[in-house]
Amino acid sequence: MQFFNFFLNSSLLVLVLSMSTKTDGQVRKTIIVDQSGHGSFTTIQNAIDSVPSNNEAWTLIHVKAGIYNEKVTIPRDKPRILLQGESYSVQDTLTDSEGRHYFENCYIEGAVDFIWGNGRSIYQGCNLNVTASAQRSGMAAYITAQARDSVVDHSGFVFKEGWIFGTGPAYLGRAYKPYARVLFYRTRMSGIIVPQGWSAWNYVKKENSIVYAEVDCTGAGANKSKRVAWEKKLSSKDLSYLLDINTFINNGGWIQRQPKRGS
């Protein structure tokens, strides 16, 4: 049996897990997880365990604010589960790891590597609120920490037509792995972005393998005159590949099979 394993901080995001096409796209049941005892369960794992195997209907598990110190396992034979949190985080808000993901019109908040991992993802129209002021005075924030590990690793983060705002200073990203790949496309950036834009972190003098790029971005933070010299200029072929939802992440048309927002 195969499992999905991950650690969860309750945050204002929705995680969708779907492995099948047989669904009407409607959420049929909602389960509340609340550590205070006012929900259906006090742990996330107990809520997942309550969902029957081979469930035909979508189940929403709403996780109330709190710190849940548990390792969560979702068996592959429970294919239609949504996990939704309600609070905010400062560090590692969104663990975007292992797989293809699509985020649309999301609000994501944090200060330290608050979108990180080796996911293969597109963020369409997302608002990124940087909260550097939540840290010790003078510390910079880092929006992304992408973890692409080799030239044959297909992962990467693509941010399209979103907005970066909040309190700075902030870097667009720092390389968590040597082949980190992040693209900001037509993104509105406030003046909180540091002039150099990016950090190689532990890969100084190995920047040639890092793929960080900005294309057609606007705002005070989008001034590239003092960006790091190793920021990449993508070829038209590479840019088209990363921006096309079907070629980059939507293999098999899985996005169209997800439950409709507000259902």
C-alpha to C-alpha distance for 232 and 136, rounded to whole angstroms: 32
10-residue mean pLDDT series, the chain (263 residues): 38 43 72 94 96 92 87 87 77 81 90 91 96 75 96 98 94 97 98 98 97 98 98 98 96 82 50
8 A C-beta contact, residue 212 and residue 148:
no
Nearest alpha-carbon partner for 60 in 76, 91, 88, 39: 39
Q: What confidence score (pLDDT) does residue 71 get?
A: 81
8 A C-beta contact, residue 80 and residue 29:
no
Q: What confidence score (pLDDT) does residue 7 get?
A: 40
Tell me: do 80 and 94 sit in the same domain: no
Residue 25 lies in a domain: yes
- Domain assignment of residue 196, given as a range: 89-258
Distance (Å) of CA 71 to CA 23, 74, 142, 151:
28, 10, 26, 31
Tell me: do 95 and 65 sit in the same domain: no
For the chain, give the number of residues: 263
Tell me: do 54 and 154 sit in the same domain: no
Enzyme catalytic residues: 92, 113
Residue 263 lies in a domain: no
Q: Which residue has the tokens 């082949």?
A: 179
Tell me: do 66 and 109 sit in the same domain: no
Tell me: do 82 and 149 sit in the same domain: no
Tell me: do 108 and 52 sit in the same domain: no
